[in-house]
């Protein structure tokens, strides 16, 4: 069975490790990052949410300026299943590829 990390890596994302705070890891958390430019990235975050047996995911694009200040964020999916977030990400990447080839 293919893992979520492997699925996102095939799409060009880098799997990020959970954040450690005060000597222990934060809530079960997954993050996948794909840089589109030096200042803009696609981010998928997976997290355990009360009431769900599987991870829930958010997918967004974020742009930072020099110095690390966020200047723009566009959310494409929130609180969705792995299947739905993969569909959203694949669709977004396909749209971008078409734009690059024809734009």
Asked if pLDDT for residue 22 goes beyond 80, the answer is no
Q: Is the pLDDT of residue 103 over 60?
A: no
Residue 3 has pLDDT above 90, yes or no: no
What percent of the chain is modeled with pLDDT above 70?
Answer: 85
Q: How many CB atoms lie within 10 A of CB 32?
A: 24
- The tens digit of pLDDT for each residue in 49-95 reads 889 888 999 999 999 988 888 899 999 999 999 999 999 999 999 99
């Amino acid at each position: 069975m293919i893992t979520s990390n492997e699925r996102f890596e095939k799409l060009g994302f880098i799997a990020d490790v959970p954040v450690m705070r005060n000597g222990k890891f934060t809530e079960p958390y997954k993050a996948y990052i794909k840089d589109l430019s030096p200042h803009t990235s696609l981010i998928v975050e997976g997290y355990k949410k009360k009431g769900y047996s599987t991870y829930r995911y958010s997918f967004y694009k974020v742009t930072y300026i020099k110095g690390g200040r966020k200047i723009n964020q566009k959310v494409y999916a929130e609180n969705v299943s792995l299947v739905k977030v993969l569909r959203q990400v694949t669709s977004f990447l396909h749209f971008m590829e078409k734009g690059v080839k024809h734009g």
